[in-house]
Structure 1
Amino acid sequence: MNPAFSVIFFTTASGAGYGLLIVAGVLSILGELPPDTPFAVATMGIALAAVTAGLLASTFHLGHPERAWRALSQWRSSWLSREGVMAIATYIPALGFGGSWILPGLVPGPRGAWATAMIVCALTTVFTTAMIYRSLKPIPQWYNGWVVANYLLLGPMSGAVILSALVTTASGTNFVLAALVVSFICGAWARKSAYWRTMEQTGLPDAGSALGLPGQRVRSVEWPHTERNYLLKEMGFAIGRKHAEKLRRFSVVTAFIAPLALTVGAAFLTHSWAILATWIAAFSAVTGVVVERWLFFAEAQHSVTLYYKGSAD
């Protein structure tokens, strides 16, 4: 599949934004969030800005972005529509939580209730985003349960690493948050590794099996096209195996290994060095997730390519 920048930015930015909301809500319920207003404004501002920027970027890949709002009416049958509905709905508890945190007493209701609603809505939004891809049966690399698990872990992982940098800057190392960061990184790393193992065992059928000749290589005498078209552009993207393996290793190091080591190491450093370590961890994690998202699309093969190529190779 074509790894369009708008879709990569959307899944990375919105995932990190929702992850930041989720982890901030969890810390609030546990009573571990610093109370100072500048920190609250920075945290909610970054989270909502990332979510909004990601959602806006998602419309750029549409043929008619100005019609994106019409997708909201198809929520009964479309995961894309459900995602749009949940994305808008999440703003309500997020703004309520932010208001009760930044200006206590201004927003009615306990902050814990707003935090719980925000966590549920953010998780549901990430789930619906994952299901957009999980539901596509013509793409074997996406049509498996690991896709949902990866989305539900990578988003909170990104948010947790970013929040760790913010908290460390504001008030020093928070060991509860550090434990959450380590847990999310280990979980996301394990699930992503499982996804890649599953993907190696999953592939498209070939023309031979379609003709009742399994194991035989069948080539087309003539191609059904004379030049590249929309389907080949969007669904015929291919990446070399060696190149993909290098990018996988890079994403593992930057998204998982480096942030894990830096987060653990920050607990033993002085405040100024801990701040530097956690911000490097945040930058590294986001970089790694961007590469992982690119691979998620680039390594996916749509079955329509069989019509044009005769085989998936």
Structure 2
Amino acid sequence: MHPAPSVIIFTTLSGLGFGLLFFLGLGMPDVTGWVAFVFYAMAFGLSVGGLMASTFHLGHPERAWKAFTQWRSSWLSREGWCAVIALILLGFYALGAVFFGQRWGVLGVLGALFSLATVFTTSMIYTQLKTIPRWNMKLTPIMFLSFSLAGGSLLAGQVSLAVPLLVVAAVAQTFYWWQGDKAFANSGTNLGTATGLGQRGAVRAFEPPHTGTNYLLREFVHVVGRKHADKLRVISFVLAFLLPVILLILPFNHFFALLAALSHVAGVAVSRWLFFAQAEHVVGLYYGKR
């Protein structure tokens, strides 16, 4: 798939933002007043900023509101509803913490649950696509949720939780890459099934369908060299997991904590780029690209 900057920003920032909102809704950290304002401003900024970035990949962003009407069948619509409900509930919860020094527990817990639901529904937008075997796996929502919880705990300053959650996210990412590399071959889809000629024998492309490019080639056929992908995976793993864990297990230092958070965000962004760039759409078979 074409790794559009808008969806990379969206999946990176919204996962971190809603992960942070999850922990804030559960009272971690238990802050009020101006300190709470800073935490909630960061969480809402990441969440809303990520959601807004996603609209730039739409052909008609002004029509995005229409997605809310399709909640019965669309994971995109469900994501929208979960996000709005989470932001409203935690918005009122934040008002209580910032201006009244109160924690309205029910609102916080419900908001936290809807925050995780938002991340899950986001992951299901991709998981449901059988035409992209690398996404069509149970590991996809596990990876999204583990990233969100690890990043959220890190931004919330919950070091005792962040270290094991980063390890869990690292394991999820590793298994996702391992299974994803085999997903296209294991799907049983090939040029024979794509053309419907497989029963006649082995099928190969004699020449491309046309000499120019088109929308399908621009959006759904993006090839990343294996050497480049391997290097980017190492960079992503080190920045997102290894370096933050090392910095967190050292004697606590606010500067180290900041470096850990920044490193994690950078690593997640690289991982998200690979998530889209390495997603092989089956339509590539028709063009001899798989």
Calculate the TM-score normalised by the size of structure 1.
Answer: 0.87
Listed one character per residue, the Cα deviations across residues 95-151 of structure 1 (whole Å, up to 9, x for unaligned) are 122112112267xxx522121011111011111000000000110000000000011
What is the aligned counterpart of 2:278 among 285, 294, 299?
Answer: 299
Residue in 2 that maps onto 1:206:
190
Equivalenced residues, count: 285
Residue in 1 that maps onto 2:12:
12
CA distance in 2, matches of 1:202, 1:73: 33
Residue in 1 that maps onto 2:85:
89
Report whether the alignment pairs 1:145 with 2:138: yes
Residue in 2 that maps onto 1:22:
22
- SS of the aligned residue for 1:261 comes to helix
Residue in 2 that maps onto 1:98:
94
Compute the displacement of 1:208 (Å).
4.7
Listed one character per residue, the Cα deviations across residues 197-235 of structure 1 (whole Å, up to 9, x for unaligned) are 11122215322566437995x432232223111110110
CA distance in 2, matches of 1:286, 1:206: 37
Residue in 1 that maps onto 2:69:
73
CA distance in 1, matches of 2:92, 2:71: 25
**Structure 1 residues 214 and 255 mapped into 2: Cα distance closer, same or farther (>3 Å)?**
farther
Q: Which amino acid aligns with 2:119?
A: V
Report whether the alignment pairs 1:237 with 2:218: no
Residue in 2 that maps onto 1:228:
213
CA distance in 2, matches of 1:203, 1:185: 28
**Structure 1 residues 114 and 215 mapped into 2: Cα distance closer, same or farther (>3 Å)?**
farther
What does residue range 24-43 of structure 1 map to in structure 2 within 5 Å?
Answer: 24-26=24-26, 28=27, 33-43=29-39
Indicate the larger mover: 57-66 or 152-161: 152-161
CA distance in 2, matches of 1:124, 1:225: 43
**Structure 1 residues 61 and 35 mapped into 2: Cα distance closer, same or farther (>3 Å)?**
closer
CA distance in 1, matches of 2:37, 2:143: 29
Segments of 4+ moved more than 6 angstroms? none
Structure 2 gaps of 5+ residues are none
CA distance in 2, matches of 1:19, 1:3: 23
Residue in 1 that maps onto 2:129:
136
CA distance in 1, matches of 2:169, 2:201: 36
- SS of the aligned residue for 2:198 comes to coil
CA distance in 2, matches of 1:46, 1:105: 19
Structure 1 vs Structure 2: percent identity of aligned residues?
Answer: 41
Residue in 2 that maps onto 1:275:
254
CA distance in 2, matches of 1:84, 1:132: 11
Kept after mapping to 1: 8 A contact 2:85/2:111: no
- SS of the aligned residue for 1:33 comes to coil
Listed one character per residue, the Cα deviations across residues 25-44 of structure 1 (whole Å, up to 9, x for unaligned) are 23x1xxx5353522101000
Report whether the alignment pairs 1:308 with 2:287: yes
Indicate the larger mover: 205-214 or 9-18: 205-214
CA distance in 2, matches of 1:187, 1:178: 14
CA distance in 2, matches of 1:196, 1:242: 14
- SS of the aligned residue for 1:224 comes to coil
Report whether the alignment pairs 1:60 with 2:45: no
Q: Which amino acid aligns with 2:97?
A: W
CA distance in 2, matches of 1:116, 1:94: 9
Residue in 1 that maps onto 2:240:
255
Compute the displacement of 1:89 (Å).
1.2
Report whether the alignment pairs 1:48 with 2:33: no
Q: Which amino acid aligns with 1:138?
A: T
Kept after mapping to 1: 8 A contact 2:25/2:90: no
Q: Which amino acid aligns with 1:100?
A: G
Compute the displacement of 1:258 (Å).
0.5
**Structure 1 residues 308 and 40 mapped into 2: Cα distance closer, same or farther (>3 Å)?**
same
CA distance in 2, matches of 1:96, 1:183: 31
Q: Which amino acid aligns with 1:83?
A: E
Kept after mapping to 1: 8 A contact 2:33/2:98: yes
Residue in 2 that maps onto 1:173:
none
Residue in 2 that maps onto 1:167:
none
Report whether the alignment pairs 1:163 with 2:159: no
